[in-house]
Structures are given as structure tokens and as C-alpha cells.
A and B are shown apart, each in its own frame.
Chain A
Amino acid sequence: MKGYVVLENGEVFEGTLHTDHKEVHGEIVFFTGMSGYQEVLSDPSFKGQMVVFTYPLIGNYGINEVDFESMNPQVNALLVSEVSNEGFHYEARSSLLTYCEKHSIPLLSGVDTRAIVKRIREQGDMRAIITTDPTNLSFDQYTPLGQQEVVPMVSSAKIETYGNGDHHIVMVDFGYKRSILDVLLKQGCKVTIVPYHSSFQVIESLQPDGVLYTNGPGNPKQLQGILPTIKEVAKAYPTMGICLGHQLLALAFGADTEKLTFGHRGANQPVIDLATNKVYITSQNHSYVVKENSLEGTDFEAKFININDRSVEGLIHKKYPVLTVQFHPEAHPGPSDSEQLFYTFIEMLRNKGREKVYA
């Protein structure tokens, strides 16, 4: 039936709503990748967000059982120009349309996605409401994503161990993407996943060789409480941070973060390693970024920056073996050009000593 998306700036865009939701709120963001909608809708980092796909034909290869990034759908809603009513692929188990209906994921199709992208580009990420009746709506009753505690909704509740390799990595889970676990297991590591709020003692008792702070949704500053633990862990063990993990490690050592006018969300963001001049095409999904000028006195140094807007894309610590990246070396969706950063992290575990191991 007829549906509308109402942006925070008051503009209304019409489309067809394929689920029977009356009103759905969320932060509206756009994703420029041309494939990977199944990975996106199941990526916990999108919790609380409505994703606008810039590519106009979504759902062509349906939904399969192997490409999910977490056990269930995470996005608040999907907005597309055209949705395919069937999945044409040997792995497809259902169409995207029936999957959304079954899991009641609000799906608004026939929307002028390029127009919405231009509004977000000019006025920044904003809130939006999908509804069947666009008259007299109010945003006041909804808390903006930046002030919501969303990590608890996606972080695992209990400790679980996978694999039995010779390096034991504890993964502090803020809503991890399954492909991070996959790449560590593929490298022959044992991985123990712990809830985001686990204490230093809990982690210490697992005798890890290294700790990884995962990706996750929302504003890093919503997690001020666990920063001391993060710092304590990072000083004790070789540590890697991805996306939200990267931002938390920076905050833990005293750096500052800020919100980009609109986030980097796509599979084609160019990043350069300042030490080796090597350029990676990376997959990204973040609204917040570590402020370069706040690194003074944290002993963190910018190792990666975004070639287009020079924003910080990754840090190394001068004293402790800590490597953080804002982008997603585990890919899915997107290119895996920077996957070798996991091998660098595992190299760090092998040289337990404190000296830095990478150029």
C-alpha cells in the first residue's frame, strides 16, 4: 500500500510500503555499494538506522543462508528505488520481499532514492519516519540515535568460544560482524566472544594472546563507562579495534570523536597507509570519526587516512601494540584488499614483546 518517508527537515517522499507498519522511526543514512544488501540488513552496526540503497535495483539475487552478518535483521527499515519480487540465484532461498515481510522489516520501494541522498549530503544525516499517513507527525517522542544505548541490544549476553587454534583472541562484542570471526578462525585462531561490558578480570581470566574490539552501532560516547577497562586491556594485551572499537580505543586514551555531516557508507572508500603509501579500497559504515587534532598526548599516531576527506581511518600506538582501523578489513560487503591487517595483528601476538612490529 502507499507509504511515505518524512525527513526531519519536513520533506516527504512517496513510495510503496510492503509491510503493515504504521510508523517507524530511525536515523536515515545512504549506502553506495552496488551489491551486498543481505550483509547490510544483517549488520548490527546499522541498528537504529534506515538504509537508503543508492543502487536502484535491489533484491536481484534474493536472500540466501550463507551471506548473513548476524543471526537476524538489524536495520530499522530499507528504502529502495525498485525491489525484485524474486531471487534469481542458485543459493537464493527466498526473495528479499518475502524475507522482509516474514521478518517484518519495513521496506519502502519506488522512492526517489537519489533525491534523499542529495538532502542527506547537503543537510547531513538526519532522522526520518516511515508511515502510511504523513500528516501531523512529531519527532519529539523518539530519541535520536546518538543518544540511544543501542550496543546492549546487539552485544552477546554470554561468553562463547569458537575454534581451537594456537593463538587465543578475546573479541569484545559491540555487535560484531560474523565475517570478523570467520577471518580469525580461518587464520587458525581460537576466539572467545565476551559481552561489551566484560571487566578486565573476566578478560584476564581467559588468558588471551590478544584482544579485538569489534564494530557496533551508535555513538561511541554512549559507552564512557567502559573506557577505563578498554585502556587497561590495551596496555596489557596486543589489541586491535575495528570501526566502533577504533573510536573507543581512541577515546580510552584521551582522544576525541565527532559526527561527520554524513557518514562513509559504501564499498569504495579509498584509504592510504601513511607509512607505506599503500592505497586500499575499503568497505566503510560509520557516522563518527576520530578527530586528528585530538591525538596530541594520547601516544596514538594516524596510520591510515581517507584520501578524499583526509579524515582519520586508523591509528597505531607509539608505546603499546595497539592497531585500530575505522574501515572494515573483514569486508562483507565490499572489497577485502585490506584483509592482511588481520595477519599484521596476529604477527603482533607472536612477538609478545612490547616493541612495535610493523613499519
Chain B
Amino acid sequence: MSVSTPTMNGEAPVFYVADEHDHPPGQSTLFGFWLYLMSDCLIFAMLFATFGVLGTSYAAGPGPKDLFDLKLVALNTTMLLLSSITYGFAMLEMMKGKVGSTQMWLAITGLFGAAFLSIELYEFHHMIHEGAGPWRSAFLSSFFTLVGTHGLHVTFGTIWLVTLMVQVAKFGLIEANQRRLMCLSMFWHFLDVVWIGVFTFVYLMGVLR
């Protein structure tokens, strides 16, 4: 690596990295994806802040105690937590290079993800059916925005998961597919981290308040 100071012995100064060292393709992908997750984290932080500010503005409408069914939320949380550990198992099988069992664990993860989404959609449908849609109060607007954004992330994560299963089925556990699976792993576990915030601050504290 050269420093950009003119040298005394008559050599032309070099203003760039002269000796390019070896960068294998995709080497910085995981770090780049981590930076994306951090920016995603900021989006969720802003939605949490919005919910924190508006979460008690019921506009004489229904509050958390009337709307939230903690048994359903507990079931939902279980689905997401189980999907996290099954994704972990998929990663461990990937390290061993076993295509079949990797695919099996990925499929189980996808099913847990789909179960989570179904339960969440059922909850949303139930609330909207009772007239507690996002238009009812500031509390419900911020609730649907926050939980809905998380749900959208899980939806896209599930689509991504199916896409990668097709990729693995077609090309096997090649280096590129391993990298993609690691990115999705971070995405999936990150969504579980966000859900910890959701069930604590939105559901549990909402019912306590």
C-alpha cells in the first residue's frame, strides 16, 4: 500500500493502492448484508419510537387489553423461535455439505414461518373484523405499521427461503449458495430479534398497562 507523499528520489507519487491483494468473489457480501440489517434495525427503531409515542392514544377506541390474545401471541412467538432453531440446524447441515438434510430443515423452517404468518394474518383479520383496523386510532395505526412491517419482512424471508431451496436443489451447496444461505440466516435471526421487541413492548407491556 503506497502513501501519497512525493518521494525525494524522483519516483512518481502513487495515489492509489498499487498492490491489489486477492479478494475472492463475495468475500464482503456478509458484511455488506450486516450493514443492510443495521439500517433495517433503524427502520424498526423508528417504528418502535412511533408506537411508543402513540401507543396510548386510543381515541376512545379499544385498547391492548380488549384486543390482544396473549395465548395467540405466545403461540406465534413459539413458531418464530422454533423456525430460528430449525434454520440453525439447516446451517449446521450445510456446513457438513449434506444437501438432503439441509433442504429438509429449510423446508421445516419455511413451514414454521408460514405458520407464524397465518396466525398473524388471522389476528389482523380478527381485529379488523371487530372494527379495530389501522384507521380506528393512533394506537392501532402505529400497531399495524410496526407489526405489519415485521410480518412483511417474514413474508419476504419466506419467499427468499423457497427461492434458495430451488437454487440448492438445482446447483447443490456451492460456495455461492452457502453465502446466500448465510445471508438469509442473518436475516431470519434478525427478524426473531425484532420480534422479541414486539412481543415485549407491544403485547406484554400493552396488556400490563
The reply to whether chain A is a binding partner of chain B is: no
Measuring CB to CB, which residues of chain A are less than 8 angstroms from any residue of chain B?
Answer: none
CB within 8 Å of A: which residues of B?
A: none
